[in-house]
Structure 1
Amino acid sequence: MNKFMEVLENFLMPIADKLNNNRYLTALRDGFMIALPLIIFGSIFVVLANLPFLDMLIGEEAYATYQSALGPASAATLSIMGAFVIIGIGTKLTQSYDIEGIYGGVAAFAAFLILTPQTLEGVSGVIPTSILGAEGMFLGIFTAFIAAELYRFFVQKKWTIKMPAGVPDAVSRSFSALIPITLTLSVFLVVRIIFSYTPFDTVQNFIYTIIQEPLTALGSGLPATLVAVLLIQVFWFFGLHGQIIINSVFDPIWYALNDENLQAFQAGSELPNIVTKQFIDTFLVGMGGSGMTLAVVIGIFVIGRSRQLKELGKLGGPPGIFNVNEPIIFGLPIIMNPLALIPWLLAPVVVTFITYFSMATGLVPKPAGIIVPWTTPVGLSGFLATGNAWQGAVLQFFNMAVVFLIWWPFLKILDKSYYESENKGENSQAS
Structure 2
Amino acid sequence: MKFLEEKFVPLAARIGSQRHLVAIRDAFVVIMPVTIVGAIAVLINNIQGVFAENGLNVVSIQEGYTNFIKTTGIQDVMNAVNKGSINMMAILLVVTLGYQMAKGLNGDGIATSVVALTCYLGLAPAVQTLTNSYKWAEEATNVDVLTADVASGGLAANKLDSNGMFVGMILTIIVAEIFVRLSRNDKLKITLPDGVPPAVAGSFTVLIPAIITVILVVAVGTYIDRFSGMNLWVIIQKFVSAPLNSVADTLGTVILVYFLINLLWVFGLHGANIVGSVTTPIFTPMLLENTAAYEAGKTGADLPNIAHGMQAFAVIGGSGSTIGLIIAVLIFGKVQAERTVIGISIAPGLFQINEPITFGVPIVMNPVYMLPFIAGPVILAALTYILMDLNIIERVCLSAPWVTPPILYAFLATGGGIKAAIYNAIEIVLLTLLWMPFVMVSNKQNANAE
State the 1:101 CA deviation: 0.8
Matched, 1:29 2:25: yes
Does the alignment pair 1:280 with 2:310? yes
The alpha carbon displacement at 1:114 in A equals: 2.5
Change (3 A) 1:257 1:58: closer
**Partner-residue secondary structure (3-state), 1:126:** coil
Query: Post-superposition shift, 1:367?
Result: 0.9
Mapped pair 1:193 → 2:222: yes
Asked if 1:210 corresponds to 2:239, the answer is: yes
**1:254 lines up with 2:283 in the alignment:** yes
CA distance 1:200–1:210, shift in 2 (3 Å): farther
CA distance in structure 1 between the partners assigned to 2:46 and 2:26 by the alignment: 30
Identity %: 30
Q: Note if 1:375 corresponds to 2:403.
A: yes
- Structure 1 distance, partners of 2:185, 2:443, is 62
Local SS of the residue matching 1:377: coil
Q: What corresponds to 1:69 in structure 2?
A: 77
- Between the two proteins, the alignment pairs up a number of residues equal to 414
Matched residue SS, 1:375: coil
With over 3 angstroms needed to count, the CA separation of the structure-2 counterparts of 1:383 and 1:59, relative to structure 1, is closer
Task: Give 2:156's aligned residue.
Answer: 128
User: Is the partner of 2:154 in helix, strand or coil?
Assistant: coil
Is 1:55 matched up with 2:41?
no
- In 2, distance between residues paired with 1:416 and 1:45? 51
User: TM-score, normalization: structure 2?
Assistant: 0.88
Structure 1 contact 35–88 (Cα < 8 Å) conserved: yes
Q: Distance in 2 between matches of 1:420 and 1:335?
A: 22
Q: Alignment partner for residue 428 of structure 2, among 387, 400, 416?
A: 400
**Shift of residue 56, structure 1, vs aligned partner:** 2.6
Within 5 Å, which residues of 2 pair with 1:383-398? 383-398=411-426
Label 1:167 to 1:303 Cα distance change in 2 as closer, same or farther (>3 A).
same
**1: CA distance, partners of 2:21 / 2:371:** 29
User: What amino acid does structure 1 have at the position aligned with 2:303?
Assistant: L
CA change 1:283–1:59 in 2 (3 A) is: closer
After TM superposition, the score normalised by the length of structure 1 is 0.92
**Pairwise CA distance, 1:78:** 1.2
Aligned-partner residue type, residue 440 of structure 2: K
Supply the distance in 1 between the matched residues of 2:443 and 2:118 (Cα, whole angstroms).
58
Amino acid of the residue matched to residue 292 of structure 1? S
Match of 2:354 in 1: 325
Taking only aligned residues, the RMSD between alpha carbons, in angstroms, comes to: 1.7
Distance 1:62 1:103, change over 3 A: closer
Distance, in Å, in 1 between the alignment partners of 2:68 and 2:418 is: 26
Specify the alignment match of 1:90 in structure 2.
98
- The alpha carbon displacement at 1:62 in A equals 5.5
Contact 1:81 1:132 in 2 (8 A): yes
Alpha-carbon contact 1:114-1:188 (below 8 Å) kept: no
Aligned-partner Cα distance in 2 for 1:245–1:11: 16
8 Å contact from structure 1 (residues 46, 74) kept in 2: yes
Between stretches 24-33 and 92-101, larger displacement belongs to 92-101
Give deviations 1:228-264, integer Å, cap 9, x for gaps.
1111011111111010011110111111110110111
Q: Aligned pair 1:151/2:179, yes or no?
A: yes
Q: CA shift at 1:225, angstroms?
A: 1.7
Look up the equivalent residue of 1:353 and give its one-letter code.
A
Aligned to 2:138: none
Superposition deviation, residue 22 in structure 1: 1.0
Following the alignment from structure 2 to structure 1, what is the Cα–Cα distance between the partners of residues 217 and 345? 51
Q: Tell me what 2:139 maps to.
A: none
Aligned residues of 1:139 and 1:204 also touching (Cα < 8 A): yes
> Gaps (5+ residues) in structure 2?
52-60, 128-143
Provide the residue aligned with 1:415 in structure 2: 443
Separation in structure 2 between the aligned mates of residue 295 and residue 266 of structure 1, nearest angstrom: 34
Quick one: which of 16, 20, 24 aligns to 2:16? 20
2-structure distance, mates of 1:386, 1:410: 32
Name the CA distance, whole Å, in 2 between partners of 1:282 and 1:175: 48
Which residue number in structure 1 is paired with residue 363 of structure 2? 334
Measure the CA separation in 2 of the matches of 1:151 and 1:136.
21
Q: Answer whether contact 2:286 2:305 (CA < 8 A) is retained.
A: yes
Contact 2:21 2:277 in 1 (8 A): yes
Q: Distance in 1 between matches of 2:190 and 2:446?
A: 67
Q: How far apart are the structure 2 equivalents of 1:127 and 1:11?
A: 48
Instruction: Name the counterpart of 1:244.
Output: 273
